[in-house]
Chains A and B, each alone.
Chain A
Amino acid sequence: MSCQKIKKQLLLFLDNELPEAQHQEIRQHLAGCPDCSKHLKQLTKIWDAPAAIEILEPSAHLWRRIASKLPASKNRWDLLADLWQSMRGFAVPVAATVIILIGILTGAYLGTLPSDPDSAISGQAPLVAAKEAFIKTSHLDAFDDLPPASIGGIYLSMETNQQ
């Protein structure tokens, strides 16, 4: 092979894309031809620059652009349903957190209410009245005797008999 023909095949030689016999022939030629081996060195330098080309990143809003162009029927309820599907794993922890938060806030609010009706200031009178009404209508008097047939009554009679 002439030098000219060798040089034209050097890119294929570099990428190992020649049949074995041809590859060996070029290898032997290069060993004895300073001009062709210099040419190979130059070519290697430019061809083997390892793809130092920049890698592009799509812009942050590209997905939103695409999603806005999806067919409407698949864009609303289905996406919402899909979102719910993907959030199912979080549902229990989120619900538990919400319940605990409601508990804490309710507790904090109730803690600010007067516990003793007698110490109620005038502004809270309706609340005191409501408490009294509740106690009356539900017959909850702490000093009432226990009804004799109730579990409490039986327990009390057993206690007094033992004494």
Chain B
Amino acid sequence: MFFSFPVSNEKREQQSSYSEEESVQDYELIEKIKTGNGIAFQELFERYKKLVINVCFRLVGNKDEAEDLTQDVFLAIFRSAQHFNHRSKVSTWIYRIAINLSLNHLRRKKYRHWFSLDDTSTCNESADLDLVSSDCPEHDFDKQEQEKIVLKAINQLPADQRIAVMLQRYEGLSCQEIAAIAECSVGAVQARLHRAKKNLYQKLLPYLKEI
């Protein structure tokens, strides 16, 4: 795997620990899950629970919702294991399920907002971001605050750009891996990343003066 992008230390460990051998083990687990083996399913859960909850959390921005989504993701994995073909890596397939369910969740939430009477917010398809403590540019910055600002900016991007940036920045994935998850060409991923970073620059501009 190739890391040219900023990734947290913990993520780095998690990523680099995925060896070829573990990919083979993943395939074996899926084969057992196809026969209804609950222990194999639990092992897959232990292996991927952190990855799934963090992908969901960064997309929906709420811990409780991320936990509920993690449950939905693993139930979907169990149900659709039958249809898993070995053309993609198990991790790619799991990323895809986690992202799709998170985006569906945000869409449903958007429509609920749309039909609710007390709706005064300008809700879009992105996360609520209750993890961002301050909207104010005149805030005392520290590293975590800065990262929250970046995450907020990322969450305001259109879904395709948002997913590409998230997977690159927080999961340390290459364009090839992102393309496999998004089921598009590498060129399309690169184009999304270009558009995303030009948009992000505009969104981060108000905060730069304060640093």
Interface residues of B in 69-86 (CB under 8 A from A): 70-71, 74-75, 78
Query: Mostly helix, strand, loop or mixed at chain B's interface?
Result: helix
A43 partner residues in chain B, CB cutoff 8 A: 201, 204, 208
- Contact residues in B for A11 (Cβ distance below 8 Å): 197-198, 200-201
Alpha-carbon gap, A75 to B5, bound state (A)? 42
Q: Which residues from chain A sit less than 8 Å from chain B, CB to CB?
A: 7-12, 15-17, 39, 42-43, 45-59, 62-63, 65-67, 69-71, 73-75, 78-79, 82-83, 85-86
A78 near B50 with CB under 8 A, answer no
Given A39-B208, A62-B49, A51–B7 Cβ distance below 8 Å?
yes
Among the listed A7, A39, A53, which residue makes an inter-chain contact with B147, where contact means beta carbons less than 8 Å apart? A53
B53 partner residues in chain A, CB cutoff 8 A: 56-58
Cβ distance A152 to chain B, nearest Cβ, rounded Å = 58
| Distance A16 CA – B201 CA, assembled complex (angstroms) | 15
B143-194, CB < 8 A from A: 143-144, 146-151, 168-170, 190, 193-194
- A154 → chain B, closest Cβ, in Å? 62
A/B interface sample: 12 pairs, CB < 8 A? A9-B198, A15-B5, A43-B201, A47-B6, A49-B6, A52-B8, A56-B66, A62-B67, A62-B70, A63-B42, A67-B38, A83-B39
